[in-house]
Structure 1
Amino acid sequence: MQTPSRIQIHHHHHRQQIDIRQLLLCCAQLISRSDFSTAHRLTSFLSANSSPYGDSTDRLVHYFTKALSLRLRHHPSPLCCNDFFRYCDRYDDATLQSSYLSLNQITPFVRFSHLTANQAILEAMDSSHHPQHIHILDFHIMHGVQWPPLMQAIADRYPPPTPTLRITSTGSNLDNLRKTGDRLSNFAHSLGLNFRFHPLLVPNEDNVDDLVHHLSAVILLPSEILVVNCMLYLHRMLRNRESLFMLLRKIKTMNPKVITTAENEANHNHPLFLSRFGEALHYYTEVFDSLEATLPPNSRERMEVEQVWFGREIVDVVAVEGENRRERHERFRSWEVMMRSVGFVNVALSPFAVSQAKLLLRLHYPSEGYNLEVFNDRFFLGWRTLPLFSVSTWH
């Protein structure tokens, strides 16, 4: 049984944690009221009382304070695109790829999204009488970690000759695309799969007009099942809703058998800074708590993911305004309206997909914490009671 003094200390520590997050909100309110000098003093205090090496609250406050400081440094005009990219370009492609691999390794968010999407692809193949050829159009493939498990499943599932697999992937760095293609080709070859990889270089992937133009070069064969894969990607197109609808309509004309999507379950696209800030603080508190429950404080991968992956997102949501913001996450209900308005319908998730996702969480992650909800044929993966990511399938 705890001693009274221990309980007191615990309560005091808990109160202190709440207070320091409250100070972040105060700082955001001061900025929204244009009281920059008081806000600046408060960020100095918060900076001195937080650290990227402490507990989850210390780390959270550290990155939010950094984002607020960047915003203050550029008042009266908030951080412009070039300044943001200068901030982010400290991280080269190799660092970003590395942090993505760490994110995939230490949290279930990416792996869960890939597992669920791959299961939907396999079920789409099963529902076709002769799944001879599969063509996957993958937006922003990153390291390609989604595809080896799918290749393995195809090799295990279908007797020779196995279906032909073709992946067309968009990316803004041709060298990275080719390296990813080579890795996937080598793996496919080791399984005896007939595989081809087509890099689709889109110099500015955030420019929908550019993207739609390049999609016209994608060769579609009538003998192929087309799959369109959008993992944590479409939200970057929300700076211009009309353009996003143009992209979704373009995808619709390609007549895919299935579209797989995963997105952050958050509203970080609110036009009002204060609303966006409050939402982001609530959201990333849960993200950082989940990392704390999974990994020790000195984990290099944890620090990398917090700094490079989530730290960049926080800067984008908090410090950047207007056209220049990229991380424009919206909740699933918003995506549902958009997808349905273009004519897509939800694909039902199989009981196997649900049990597989639950098994992944049980085997690899803290049993108390990560939470899977299935609602109207879409998955929500969250920490404790807050959904953090949604995964859904359409056709």
Structure 2
Amino acid sequence: MLRSLNSHEEQDTDHQHNPSHGLSSPAHHMRQLLISCAELISQSDLASARRMVSLLFTRSSPDGDSTERLVQQFTIALSMRLNAHNFIPTDSGAVQSSYLSLNQITPFIRFSHLTANQAILEAVEGHSSIHIIDFDTMQGVQWPPLMQAIAERSDPSNPPSIRITGTGHDMETLRRTGDRLQKFACSLGINFHFHPLQIPHDTSPSAAAVLRLLPSSIAILPDEVLAVNCVLYLHKLLSDDSRNVRLFLRTIKAMNPKVVTVAEREGNHNHPIFLQRFIEALDYYTAVFESLDATLPPASKERHDVEQIWLGKEIANIVAAEGEERMERHERFESWMEIMRSSGFSNLPLSPFALSQAKLLLRLHYPSVGYQLRLLHDSFFLGWMNKPLFSVSSWY
């Protein structure tokens, strides 16, 4: 049974997911050096912190073991904070490529998509006209399996109609995604329409910017059943309080969706105190890097790109950014449960079939014994060893 650790427990049990991390291990020593550097920054002893960053760079490597690679990414993030650089300019093509690699080499994204899709499939049972609002669509990799599942259960003489409203910041990416999904739908004989909805990207996808577009920009037809998909999205709407995301969710609730699917990282990276947020993130990404180390060969280019580009971007934002620049505001499931309930939603239990399906995904594609799938609060948690890392839930 999973349990939520409070901040003190988290610090005291940070290495429980890897028993090899003894108190005198190199990994524990490097962890303490990183925390010491973060403490110096929090105390405004910037000169000492810069000396510590220089030391940490000499002890890290993008090609070393999981500890050396993790230390490099956190040291880069600390250096950015010291130098007031809150982001790393990265080629958008490289970011998209690293996301696709993340989707392939780790189970976390596929698990989130698979479980959310099953919840949507079960919720829209008996309806032939389906509208999905997908927040932060990106390449749309979630949707071909769902479209195929809907096509397989439909009467060929009465093909289903699927409409996806996909949101994002880049209209060209959305159009390309829509074109790919349209071609796939055509091959299945599905009546399909993709509506790209561009959300302004000033500093962050604030709830206010989204609310200016909802619901006026989204038409819900009388015969359509609505599903709303928020996979790794809601945390981006959090600011220093949760009022904006609650307003967003109440607006979604007023659209009367049959189901709302939510997937989030299972970590408290939105703590207002920098040092606490740093320690939480360090514990979380230690488990992620260890899972990559255990499941991929040392020379894996895909792993290198995921760690350096995608995960590095997340870590940098959590550690280096503040205010509106800080978008990776992950919260634990208990926080999301309270937010969803206070916004008018009730938990929709994920089905036993969804659980069997998720277990099959892990067994067939990610056979490492380190991945653990748990059921709690009618929702699923996927983690590494004893450390829950992602949660998926559905609501109505």
Would you say same fold, with TM above 0.5?
Answer: yes
Q: 1: CA distance between counterparts of 2:175 and 2:21?
A: 54
Q: 1: CA distance between counterparts of 2:305 and 2:24?
A: 26
1:13 deviates by 12
String of CA shifts for 1:320-374, please: whole Å, max 9, x gaps: 1233211000000001001001110011111110010011011111331010000
TM-score in terms of structure 1 length: 0.91
1:17 deviates by 2.0
Q: 2: CA distance between counterparts of 1:285 and 1:328?
A: 18
Quick one: which of 181, 187, 191 aligns to 2:184?
A: 187
Which residue does 1:30 correspond to in 2?
40
The one-letter amino acid of 1:226's match is L
Q: 2: CA distance between counterparts of 1:185 and 1:50?
A: 45
| Residue 386 (structure 1) aligned with residue 383 (structure 2) | no
Change (3 A) 1:340 1:366: same
- After superposition, residues 104-183 of structure 1 pair within 5 angstroms as 104-126=103-125, 130-160=126-156, 161-183=158-180
Q: 1: CA distance between counterparts of 2:22 and 2:258?
A: 56
Which residue does 2:86 correspond to in 1?
84
Given that residues 225 and 256 in structure 1 are in contact (C-alpha distance below 8 angstroms), is that contact kept between their aligned partners in structure 2?
Answer: yes
- After superposition, residues 130-279 of structure 1 pair within 5 angstroms as 130-160=126-156, 161-204=158-201, 206-215=205-214, 216-239=216-239, 240-279=241-280
The one-letter amino acid of 1:313's match is E
Which residue does 2:99 correspond to in 1?
100
Q: 2: CA distance between counterparts of 1:184 and 1:13?
A: 51
Given that residues 113 and 391 in structure 1 are in contact (C-alpha distance below 8 angstroms), is that contact kept between their aligned partners in structure 2?
Answer: yes
Which residue does 2:342 correspond to in 1?
341
Change (3 A) 1:140 1:343: same
Q: 2: CA distance between counterparts of 1:280 and 1:11?
A: 17
Which residue does 1:72 correspond to in 2?
82
Q: 1: CA distance between counterparts of 2:110 and 2:379?
A: 16
Q: 2: CA distance between counterparts of 1:12 and 1:102?
A: 32
- After superposition, residues 278-317 of structure 1 pair within 5 angstroms as 278-317=279-318
String of CA shifts for 1:105-164, please: whole Å, max 9, x gaps: 0000000000001101111122xxx41200000001010000000011111111212221
String of CA shifts for 1:72-130, please: whole Å, max 9, x gaps: 123xxxxxxxx424x2xx2232122111101100000000000001101111122xxx4
SS at match of 1:54: coil
Q: 1: CA distance between counterparts of 2:209 and 2:45?
A: 41
Q: 2: CA distance between counterparts of 1:355 and 1:147?
A: 20
Given that residues 293 and 366 in structure 1 are in contact (C-alpha distance below 8 angstroms), is that contact kept between their aligned partners in structure 2?
Answer: no
Given that residues 22 and 28 in structure 2 are in contact (C-alpha distance below 8 angstroms), is that contact kept between their aligned partners in structure 1?
Answer: no
241-250 vs 228-237, which moves further: 241-250
Which residue does 1:3 correspond to in 2?
none
The one-letter amino acid of 1:84's match is N
1:14 deviates by 6.7
Q: 1: CA distance between counterparts of 2:28 and 2:108?
A: 26
The one-letter amino acid of 1:119's match is Q
Given that residues 295 and 368 in structure 2 are in contact (C-alpha distance below 8 angstroms), is that contact kept between their aligned partners in structure 1?
Answer: no
- After superposition, residues 305-384 of structure 1 pair within 5 angstroms as 305-384=306-385
The one-letter amino acid of 2:52's match is L
SS at match of 2:145: helix
SS at match of 1:52: coil
- Structure 2 spans left out of the alignment, 5+ residues: 1-19
Given that residues 134 and 166 in structure 1 are in contact (C-alpha distance below 8 angstroms), is that contact kept between their aligned partners in structure 2?
Answer: yes
Q: For the pair shown, which has the larger CA radius of gyration, 1 or 2?
A: 1
Q: 1: CA distance between counterparts of 2:160 and 2:119?
A: 16
The one-letter amino acid of 1:105's match is Q
Given that residues 346 and 377 in structure 1 are in contact (C-alpha distance below 8 angstroms), is that contact kept between their aligned partners in structure 2?
Answer: yes
Equivalent pairs, count: 372
SS at match of 1:84: coil
203-212 vs 47-56, which moves further: 203-212
Given that residues 287 and 387 in structure 2 are in contact (C-alpha distance below 8 angstroms), is that contact kept between their aligned partners in structure 1?
Answer: yes
Given that residues 21 and 27 in structure 2 are in contact (C-alpha distance below 8 angstroms), is that contact kept between their aligned partners in structure 1?
Answer: no
Given that residues 273 and 318 in structure 1 are in contact (C-alpha distance below 8 angstroms), is that contact kept between their aligned partners in structure 2?
Answer: yes
After TM superposition, the runs of 4+ consecutive aligned structure 1 residues lying more than 3 A away are 10-14
| Higher normalized helix content (fraction of residues) | 1
SS at match of 2:139: coil
SS at match of 2:25: helix
Given that residues 133 and 165 in structure 2 are in contact (C-alpha distance below 8 angstroms), is that contact kept between their aligned partners in structure 1?
Answer: yes
Q: 2: CA distance between counterparts of 1:14 and 1:359?
A: 38
SS at match of 2:104: helix
The one-letter amino acid of 1:95's match is A
Given that residues 380 and 389 in structure 1 are in contact (C-alpha distance below 8 angstroms), is that contact kept between their aligned partners in structure 2?
Answer: yes
Given that residues 206 and 236 in structure 2 are in contact (C-alpha distance below 8 angstroms), is that contact kept between their aligned partners in structure 1?
Answer: no
- Structure 1 spans left out of the alignment, 5+ residues: 1-9, 75-82
